[in-house]
Amino acid sequence: MEHLAFHDPLTNLPNRLLLLDRLAQAFLQAGRHGKGVAVLFIDLDRFKVVNDSLGHHAGDLVLTEVADRLRRGTRASDTVARLGGDEFVVVCPDVDSRQDVARLADELQKSIALPILIGEHIASVDASIGIAFGVGDDDPESLLRNADQAMYLAKDHGRARYEVFDNELRGRVAQTLDTQMSLRSAVDLGQIETWYQPIVDLRNQTVVATEALARWRRPERGLVLPGDFIAIAEETGLIKQIGSTVLNQACRAAAALDGAMAVSVNVSPRQFARDDFGAVVKQALSISGLPPERLWLELTESAMIEAIGSAAKMFHELRDIGVRLAIDDFGTGYSSLSHLRAFDIDLLKVDITFVRDIETSAHDRAVVEGVIRLADSLKLEVVAEGIETTGQLDLLLKMGCRFGQGYLFSRPSPDVSPLVHLEGFLAPAARAR
């Protein structure tokens, strides 16, 4: 019973409890001998592919084999542990050189990457490794957490590599924690604002919609752009409150305008997966008085995949309300014609990364033109994002692109009806078709 309490039943490696005990002992030794302690946090890349394609039994065999390879690749004095799932940790006491630990990480990665024979099949996984160094007065939990942060950095930088927790990463982690803490009260304090960027009918030179964009006005820092807080809001679940705030603000602002201009609102996978999201949308429309057909909801391809289980049902519910639906950043995620067939959508938004170089890149021109032709065949409208030059605009018009947005027309503004420039055309965004 004692063995089961401190060991992983699948691999027979020490579990988290025994790992922390061994790490505490390593710190005691480090304090006596004046040496350091290294922790390698290992997460397997592409392990989910093995589980999904070969089954969980094959996944268990892969975990067992990886555990054996880690044992064989480390010193007798090192501790190899499994935290759960596909996460392993190696504790190296009495470290003389950081270069030795880097070499160990390299060797372990090469060993893990070797093919694993499972019956008639071959499984392949890689490892992202985070490394953290400590001394005698460090806290085991903190060192483990630092190595975990370094491992996530390795994944962000392309996977199948290692990263070391250093002062730069420490500052980044501290900044992220500060953002998390402040963001929790941002909605209640009314710090979330909605800015707007018009969507233009390129043929008729009129504004047909405006995209709602979240901004965070932090009293001590000023205006914070989405790239600095949306990902953190997703991780913490705060995106639900922020998304609802932006949705309600956008609906009220659009309803106050004359004409038929629509408002387009980005929806996160966490929002979309909520059972009550349809009710949230209905409430926003009811309170604002905005007709459903003047609300566009944008969901990225990758977000749609994350919510695949409930996506079709929610698409139908929103379609029944009368809301228009769009796939944002089309071509950058998991592009598949099956998604266009499975989900009843109205618009495709071509990502700025394809529009940016269409004047100089034949490849990007072909991609954009292909998306527009595909959309025409499926009777979908296309919105080209990031239009900044008249050359880009001319090419898109020749390709038959109907809608566009970008700095050529207007930058994001807190005003729902800013002035819009289009080749000598100057009109309030409130004017619509």
* Predicted pLDDT of residue 340: 64
d(CA 399, CA 393): 10
pLDDT higher than threshold 50 for residue 426 = no
d(CA 148, CA 87): 10
**pLDDT above 90 covers what percent of the chain?**
59
* Predicted pLDDT of residue 9: 94
Q: State pLDDT tens for residues 126-175.
A: 999 999 998 866 789 999 999 999 999 899 888 899 999 988 888 877 88
* Predicted pLDDT of residue 403: 95
Amino acid at 157: H
d(CA 61, CA 132): 29
Mean pLDDT to the nearest integer, 276-301: 92
Phi, psi of 397 (to 5 degrees): -65, -40
Provide the pLDDT confidence category of residue 210 given band limits of 50, 70 and 90: very high
Strand blocks (E) in 63-106: 79-84, 87-95
* Predicted pLDDT of residue 303: 63
Q: State pLDDT tens for residues 323-375.
A: 999 988 776 655 555 556 666 788 999 989 999 999 999 999 999 999 999 88
Is this model's pTM higher than 0.85 or not?
A: no
What is the Cα 11 distance to its own chain's centre?
32
* Predicted pLDDT of residue 106: 95
Could you tell me which residue, 212 or 276, shows the higher pLDDT? 212
Q: Are 363 and 345 in contact (CB under 8 A)?
A: no
pLDDT higher than threshold 70 for residue 432 = no
For the chain, what is the mean pLDDT?
Answer: 88
What is the Cα 96 distance to its own chain's centre?
38
d(CA 338, CA 351): 19
CATH superfamily assigned to domain 187-428? EAL domain (3.20.20.450)
* Predicted pLDDT of residue 176: 81
Q: Which residues of 47-64 are buried (b: 16+ CB within 10 A; e: fewer)?
A: beebbeebeeebbebbbe
Q: Are 88 and 66 in contact (CB under 8 A)?
A: yes
CATH superfamily assigned to domain 2-165? Reverse transcriptase/Diguanylate cyclase domain (3.30.70.270)
What is the Cα 412 distance to its own chain's centre?
22
* Predicted pLDDT of residue 337: 58
pLDDT higher than threshold 70 for residue 307 = no
Mean pLDDT to the nearest integer, 83-105: 92
Residue 133's closest CA among 172, 174, 105? 105
Task: Retrieve residue 111's tokens.
Answer: 């060993």
pLDDT higher than threshold 90 for residue 199 = yes
What residues have CB less than 8 Å from 45, skipping those under 6 apart? 125, 126, 127, 128, 155, 159, 160
**Comparing 17-31, 111-125, 163-177, which segment has the lowest mean pLDDT?**
163-177
Which conformational region is residue 49 in: left (phi greater than 0), alpha (psi within -120 to 50 degrees), or beta? Answer: alpha
Q: Are 409 and 385 in contact (CB under 8 A)?
A: no
Q: Where are the domains of the chain?
A: 2-165, 187-428
pLDDT higher than threshold 80 for residue 308 = no
* Predicted pLDDT of residue 269: 80
d(CA 266, CA 247): 9
Cα dihedral 230→386→301→397 (10° resolution): 160
Q: State pLDDT tens for residues 35-80.
A: 889 999 999 998 988 988 889 999 999 999 999 999 999 999 999 9
Mean pLDDT to the nearest integer, 4-26: 94
pLDDT higher than threshold 60 for residue 429 = no
Pairing state between β 262-266 and 206-218? parallel
Could you tell me which residue, 270 or 298, shows the higher pLDDT? 298
Q: What is the CA radius of gyration of the chain?
A: 26
d(CA 98, CA 166): 12
Task: Retrieve residue 330's tokens.
Answer: 């089309």
Mean pLDDT to the nearest integer, 170-199: 89
* Predicted pLDDT of residue 311: 64
* Predicted pLDDT of residue 430: 40
